[in-house]
Amino acid sequence: MLKLSSVAVVTAGIALSLFGTASPAAAASCETTAIQPIASAGSVAARSWWKCSAAPSENASIHVDLQRGHWWGWETVVRTVHERSGSFDEPFWSGSFNCAGTGNYEYRTMIFGHVGEDLALTKTSDSLQFNC
């Protein structure tokens, strides 16, 4: 059974009103989900879902990493960068990693990125063990 990590909902941005006091701006906001990797026929890929509301002029840079666990920590084996502008609601995948013949390892999805200048996001899925 696939597990979704908890969903992060983040907003950013403050604007000054006509009277000089801080008020919430129509800032970028995002919901992100890092989904456990999926394996098939000797390859593994990381998955995520991003739903962001932003002004058309705000650019987003989304990184989807597939990481493999070792005794010394996590190794990023594939990093895929996606660029978007404005609002979007879609899945983002890493490239596939050919793990055939490498043995039994834990894999996880790590996502990070930014929307506009103020909104930065990081999320990690639960890990799954695959024998490739």
Residue 1 domain flag: no
Instruction: Encode pLDDT of 6-19 as tens digits.
Output: 344 443 433 323 33
Residue 29 domain flag: yes
pTM of the model: 0.77
Residue 97 domain flag: yes
Q: What is the CATH number of the domain that holds 116?
A: 2.60.40.2420
Host domain of residue 98: 8-131
The top-scoring range by mean pLDDT among 4-8, 75-79, 95-99 is 75-79
Are the C-beta atoms of 37 and 45 separated by less than 8 Å?
yes
Output Rg (C-alpha) for the chain, integer angstroms.
Answer: 17
Residue 33 domain flag: yes
